[in-house]
Chain A
């Protein structure tokens, strides 16, 4: 049986200005993520983890190389096409949660459903229950704790069943105990949804839940043990 690839990147390059020259953060990087796979990317601060995730999630465009999603080269995609892709195919979880402060927890989670024109029932209540957010659903983000906010962000990332979830240091702002709870819930929810997860992390706990761990070094990915 062949496992489908949700993300296929080849010779990706991304540079940023640094003084008189441009500094390559991602340099001829190759990456494949299979459906349902949990991939952890580790590396030192500033190694380009977030840049890689932004490129993978179509939040940013590479200077060179190609990214194929569902077998389609995204290089020619315009902003609208990339926006539609993010809306339908990707779920994001950020270190800083990035919930909308003016929507309640329930409304924040419902937002991807509304954007995709999907019915709220029964997915919304199911995911709220799965992440144990029922009692917090009517509260605003600033009325709940960091761990609770991250659970809401995970629910938002999964509610519309995207094939790819991208998480940038999802437990970076949480204490160890809360981080462990969130990691367990996150892995369970991702596996339950059958989504692939590409995450950048420093957390050994998170790494322990990954199917594959890659290290970002000199702008390229190598196996963690290399």
Chain B
């Protein structure tokens, strides 16, 4: 090993704390990306699982866009295309109470006999599965997660039903593949629990590439009733994938933001390791070591630290993924599908990506200052002003790059109106621009404070003000990372709080009825509330009025339309907040069936506007209706077409509903009415009576769970930023040890010096927070006006929430002061005499 390499490695060994911080910075940066990406991969796998057939990959399936269909269709399909091995499936979701709270599971009913006829093995005893009432099968991992063992009774919370865990199976080759969080039951049991007696959700088909299979599919298309569709698995899932795309994009954006902070942290740490050794490099240069040799040496160090950080980051990333898996799984269950996340599957591509990230950022961070250092002549580099020169050079470049990033952000916004990626790119560019500008702004603020107030301040605080301003060349990157983390926290917090307000207000306005009778299971399951049942409910003593809703889906562009057919009394209509259109003229046209209303997300995703005509396929033929109004709706990110009950019954010739709203007559006892409603629905376990307040509470609980993951990610970004501040201050105070020793030698007391060091952090952090607050508000505005609109089509008002600003600001201040403790105390421990020695 050459003496130059030996000197370099010994330097790292002597500065273990800084190396540890560099490795920690790299590891945390990589961990966040790996953690989120591993969680996303798991979520995507679970999603694919949820869509896949139980017995292997179904290539096609028969389904009814309107919901379930009569099981008699199965006989017809078998007759038309027996070679496609038709397998009936009934699917829905159920809730199972556990010690950690209720969890959503997918309930899938299969016919093991038809599966066996198709040559598939079940992997569990078919006899008891079919004959024992409520027999259910779970996979090993789900059983372990829920703490269940074979033979246990499962008391479902909604729909209310009792199952018995017959068997726990663990992926046998060629046998039924039971996905995570999937309760497999006999088809009859599923029909009974989900209230779908005599109905099927889909018929799975398995077509190979043969001409025979193609003919069979053609026969099937020709022979199917018009209410049914033959769908290709890939194409049919694309609509659902579209649905979750915005969710994943948002997560990606958060992980990129954390990565940005992580990259700054890595850059910061690596750059310090280089800048601190400028004099050593200068000595080597004086002795005849070439620039290239120094750059190679620094690159080698960066690769070494990057490799260690990358390896640790991979390990930490999967630990983080395991932590993020639970809240994400819950969010996905709340909004998209029931399915557990397996975050433990190691992906070589992801691990390699993490490594490349660690190595490339470390290399870039280290080599750039090393190049700058090498570019100085040895004489310049040996002078004490050289480091300051480098700091100035870097800050000039950062100002230019910041300006460029800001312009880029404006361009992204100006030249895109719908692209979510462009929206995120604009947001990213604005944050990067702010990060590059912030050291200059903080310096300007401290300069202004110095000029205005310095003469009124005691010496320690005055010195701190000047030292803080001078230190920005050194700690500028850490300040930028802290500012970004604080601003992000403020921005996301303001957006979430404003969003929650909007959802709360919307629920307040929308939920006009006192009670809602809702049907559990999939929302497009067989509707249970027939006209007679609804009339009986309306006739209960104390009921002033009722509303009802029927949900269905019809084919159309971009995965089709979701419809909601409403019967609405006048006071329910007041719950609809129009964004476009005039309620006074829209409601009469809607009531007559001459027009439809659409929700805001539908208008966004399908690019529809007021008075556009919507073409809908109905069982009695295609109809076309103008859009009379667009209303605010946070209930579905895909959007809904609202039809009048009259139009629905006339065109679908069906009067069954999925839900009923009940309005209490004036002066009547609500609790008594609730008992009466529960009594009237107790014969059907699928029907649950909810109070207005309970629905609101449940909806907001789902909302809070959805955004829990953003809290975790912004907190992680803040931890990384605080670590960056710690590292920067440690380097700064070590570098200034001689200066502090001079002060001490001239009679400046340890207590005064301590005050100066803490006050320096205080000044810089306060100035940083002053910059972070407007940026945070800007981020909130962009999230609300650009990202949310482009992701989901939801509009909302930015609300003023002092705590969303004050809490992150206080946390930043506390984190920075906490990060000062060790570096300051360490600096104070250095004896002035030792610090004043040359070597």
Contacts and interface: CB of A to CB of B under 8 A. Distances in A.
Interface in B357-380: 377-380
B6 A101 contact: no
Nearest to B8: A102
A84 B379 contact: no
16 contacts: A60-B380, A61-B377, A80-B290, A83-B289, A86-B288, A86-B378, A88-B288, A97-B838, A97-B839, A100-B283, A103-B6, A111-B4, A114-B2, A149-B839, A156-B287, A173-B838
B14 to A, nearest CB: 6
A8 to B, nearest CB: 20
Interface string A73-97: 0000001100110111000101011
Q: Which 9 A-B pairs have the closest CB atoms?
A: A87-B288, A102-B10, A54-B379, A59-B379, A60-B379, A102-B7, A86-B288, A59-B378, A98-B283
Contacts, number: 86
Given A100-B283, A115-B288, A107 B838 contact: no
B645 to A, nearest CB: 83
B165 to A, nearest CB: 65
A11 B286 CA distance: 24
A51 B286 CA distance: 14
Tell me the dominant secondary structure on chain B's binding face.
helix
Interface residues of B, number: 28
Given A60-B379, A98-B279, A115-B287, 11 more contacts: A54-B378, A59-B377, A80-B291, A83-B291, A94-B382, A98-B382, A99-B283, A100-B280, A102-B8, A102-B11, A115-B288
B349 interface: no
B288 A60 contact: no
A190 interface: no
A60 B839 CA distance: 24
A116 B2 CA distance: 12
Contacts of B290: 79-80, 83
Interface residues of A, number: 37
B285 interface: yes
A83 B838 contact: no
A97 B283 CA distance: 10
Contacts of B378: 54, 59-60, 86
B3 interface: yes
Nearest to A88: B288
Contacts of A99: 283, 839
A123 to B, nearest CB: 15
A184 to B, nearest CB: 22
Interface of B: 2-4, 6-8, 10-11, 14, 279-280, 283-291, 377-380, 382, 837-839
B377 A101 contact: no
Interface in A46-87: 50-51, 54, 57, 59-61, 79-80, 83-84, 86-87
A79 B3 contact: no
B839 A141 contact: yes
A48 to B, nearest CB: 12
Among A83, A86, A114, the most chain B Cβ lie within 10 Å of the Cβ of A83
Nearest to B15: A102
A43 interface: no
Contacts of B11: 101-102
A38 B10 CA distance: 37
Nearest to A146: B838
A115 B6 CA distance: 13
B377 A92 contact: no
